[in-house]
Amino acid sequence: MRIITSVLVASLLFVAQSGFAQERLSIATGGTGGVYYPIGGGLAELINRHIDGYSAVAEVTGASVENMGLIFRGDSDLALVLADTAYQAYNGTGAFEGRQIENTRALASVYPNAVQLVTLAGSGVESLQDLKGKRVSVGAPGSGTELNARALLEANGLSYDDIRVQRLNFNETADALRDGDIDAGFWSVGPPTSSILNLATTRDIRLISFTDEEIEKAAEVEPVFAPYTLRAGMYDGVDEEVQTISIPNVLVVNSDMDEELAYQITKVMFERVEDLIAIHPAANDTTVDFSLTSTPVPLHPGAIRYYEEIGEDIPDNLRP
The pLDDT tens digits of the residues spanning 171-223 come to: 999 999 999 999 999 999 888 889 999 999 999 999 999 999 999 999 898 88
- CATH number for the domain formed by residue range(s) 2-111+250-318: 3.40.190.10
How far is the C-alpha of 312 from the C-alpha of 253, rounded, in Å? Answer: 21
Query: What is the reported pLDDT for 16?
Result: 47
By the 8 A CB rule, do 80 and 67 touch? yes
Question: Could you give the residue ranges of the DSSP H alpha helices within 140-258?
Answer: 144-155, 170-178, 194-202, 212-221
Overall pTM > 0.85: no
Query: What is the reported pLDDT for 3?
Result: 46
Query: What is the reported pLDDT for 20?
Result: 56
How far is the C-alpha of 144 from the C-alpha of 249, rounded, in Å? Answer: 10
How far is the C-alpha of 150 from the C-alpha of 104, rounded, in Å? Answer: 24
Query: What is the reported pLDDT for 79?
Result: 98
Average pLDDT in the 112-131 region?
Answer: 95
The CATH homologous superfamily to which domain 113-247 belongs is Periplasmic binding protein-like II (3.40.190.10)
Q: Enumerate the CATH 3.40.190.10 domain ranges in the chain, comma separated.
A: 2-111+250-318, 113-247
Check whether 18 has a pLDDT greater than 50.
no
Confidence band, pLDDT 50/70/90 cuts, at residue 15: very low
Check whether 4 has a pLDDT greater than 50.
no
Query: What is the reported pLDDT for 293?
Result: 87
How far is the C-alpha of 302 from the C-alpha of 24, rounded, in Å? Answer: 19
Region of poorest pLDDT, from 4-8, 119-123, 151-155, 299-303: 4-8
Query: What is the reported pLDDT for 8?
Result: 53
Check whether 14 has a pLDDT greater than 90.
no
How far is the C-alpha of 157 from the C-alpha of 277, rounded, in Å? Answer: 38
